[in-house]
Structure formats: C-alpha cells, structure tokens
C-alpha cells in the first residue's frame, strides 16, 4: 500500500488526516503533562513536547482545546 493510499484509508477510518491525529495526540499529551506538573517555563515545555516554539504550542492548544496553555494552568488552579 502506498503512502497516499494509507492516508486515504486513515481518513476514511478515523474521519481525520494522520497529520491532524498527530496534532491531537501532541496537545493531549501536553495537557496530561500540564495536569501532572507545572513547568518552570512554557517556552521550554513547548520544545520538550515537540512544538517548534511557545507560540506554536499556544496556537495548537487554542485551535484544538479552545484554551491556551496558561489559561489551562489557571483553570486547574496551578498558577496565579
């Protein structure tokens, strides 16, 4: 099976592209990490989680989870 055919099958089975699925997983893993421990620096946290920078992480969070990482931490009462 070719790469493009695999992508089409993936989209047919899960109703999303493999790239979007990867983005969902990365944001989900970041949320789990933020729930467990407050990072000293969100910029470093973003790099550790696989984002290119903090702004990239914030955009992905906002688009997928409808909340920024900082807002998430405030909502969880982990920061002021």
Quote the CA–CA distance of 31 and 61 in Å, as a whole number: 9
**Domain membership flag for residue 21:** yes
Q: Which residues contact 54 (CB under 8 A, 6 or more apart)?
A: 42, 43, 46
pLDDT digits 0-9 by tens, 4-23: 999 999 999 999 999 999 99
Q: Considering its fold, how many domains does the chain have in total? A: 1
End-to-end alpha carbon distance in the chain: 51
Mean pLDDT of the chain: 93
pLDDT, average across residues 36-48: 94
Question: In this structure, what CATH number is given to the domain that contains residue 52?
Answer: 1.10.10.60
CA distances (Å), 54 to each of 11, 66, 80, in order?
Answer: 29, 16, 19
**Domain membership flag for residue 80:** no
pLDDT at 1: 86
Whole-model pTM: value is: 0.85
Share of the chain above pLDDT 90, in %: 89
- Can you give the residue range of the structural domain that contains 71? 3-75
Task: Report yes or no: 34 and 75 within 8 Å, Cβ to Cβ.
Answer: no
């Amino acid at each position: 099976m070719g790469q493009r055919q695999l992508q089409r099958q993936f989209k047919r089975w899960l109703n999303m592209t493999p790239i979007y699925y990867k983005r969902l997983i990365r944001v989900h893993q970041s949320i789990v990490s933020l729930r467990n421990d407050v990072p000293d620096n969100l910029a470093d946290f973003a790099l550790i989680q696989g984002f290119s920078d903090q702004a990239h992480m914030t955009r992905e969070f906002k688009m997928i989870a409808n909340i920024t990482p900082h807002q998430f931490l405030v909502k969880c009462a982990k920061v002021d």
